[in-house]
Amino acid sequence: MNKINHVAIIMDGNGRWGYKKKKSRNYGHREGLNTVKKIIDETVKNKIHYLTLFAFSTENWKRPKSEITYLFKLLENFLHKKIDDLMRQNIKLKIIGNKKIFSEKLKKILKNSEKKTKNNSGLQINLALNYGFKEELIYSINKMIKYKKKINVKNITDNLYTQNIPDPDILIRTGNTNRISNFMLWQIAYSEIFFVKKLWPDFTKKDYNKIINKYSSIKRNFGGL
């Protein structure tokens, strides 16, 4: 049986779900947050140590300004209301991505959330915000140049946003879209990838556990026999 240490999820389909319900994209984003809560609880239950959630990509800035504003307001409210729940569940929060472009208010909220939970030893949630792998790779290489490090696999890995975080065992993408969308391309080199037809708000604990159980029976060779 394969042990699961890290699950990464591309949470796709919120906007389409909202339209499907004859409501707004923002309605879909709000409902998608309820799925996030359920999957966090189920990840804790399964004793998985890392959960990475792709919340906002470097490409998502192309979306309407009103939708972007709503998304970040939703995030601010979630962290404000749920930070005590994260503490009770012994959950550590880490933000991965380029935070420089965010408002001072959001940067402060993110920093405080990371600081408050930094000593928690249970599940670590890596929230990918303004994240894109191509930018992450440039970030890693620039750090190596700055500190005169040799460019090799180990040093690139050690200087990514995900330094000290094991690579995902599983990558899940909902939304009936079979692509990776510039997400953790280095880290998922040997991840088992599951594309799910359901839109993110419809993704259930049962769906999640089905993937976990399927992963347990996969023979993983990592290039060997």
The pLDDT score that the predictor gives to residue 187 is 98
Q: Among 34, 57, 13, which Cα is nearest to 204's?
A: 34
Rounded Cα distance between 167 and 189, Å, is: 9
- Each residue of 180-224: pLDDT tens digit? 999 999 999 999 999 999 999 999 999 999 999 999 888 777 666
Out of 12, 167, 169, 207, the active site residue is 12
The pLDDT score that the predictor gives to residue 219 is 77
Q: Which residues contact 86 (CB under 8 A, 6 or more apart)?
A: 93, 113, 117, 120, 125
- Each residue of 60-113: pLDDT tens digit? 999 999 999 999 999 999 998 999 999 999 999 999 999 999 999 999 999 999
The pLDDT score that the predictor gives to residue 223 is 67
The pLDDT score that the predictor gives to residue 220 is 73
- Each residue of 33-63: pLDDT tens digit? 999 999 999 999 999 999 999 999 999 999 9
Identify whether 60 is a catalytic site residue: yes
**β-pair partners for 94:** 126
Q: 45 by DSSP, 3-state: which?
A: helix
- Each residue of 139-148: pLDDT tens digit? 999 999 999 9
The pLDDT score that the predictor gives to residue 42 is 98
The two tokens of residue 164 are 């000290």
Q: Which residues contact 60 (CB under 8 A, 6 or more apart)?
A: 68
Question: Helices in the chain by DSSP H: which ranges?
Answer: 14-20, 25-45, 65-88, 104-117, 133-146, 153-158, 205-216
**Total residues belonging to the chain:** 225
Q: 33 by DSSP, 3-state: which?
A: helix
Residues of the chain with pLDDT > 70, as a percent, come to 97
Helices and strands per DSSP (H, E), number in the chain: 7, 6
Q: What is the pTM of this model?
A: 0.96
The pLDDT score that the predictor gives to residue 2 is 83
Q: Give the burial class of 119: count Cβ atoms within 10 A of its Cβ; 0-12 exposed, 13-18 middle, 19 or more buried.
A: exposed
- Each residue of 111-145: pLDDT tens digit? 999 999 999 999 999 999 999 999 999 999 999 99
The pLDDT score that the predictor gives to residue 173 is 98
Q: Which residues contact 37 (CB under 8 A, 6 or more apart)?
A: 82
Out of 2, 46, 60, 98, the active site residue is 60
Q: Count CA atoms within 13 Å of residue 57 on its CB side.
A: 17
Identify whether 12 is a catalytic site residue: yes
Sheet holding 170-173, edge to edge: 92-96, 124-131, 50-57, 6-10, 170-173, 192-195
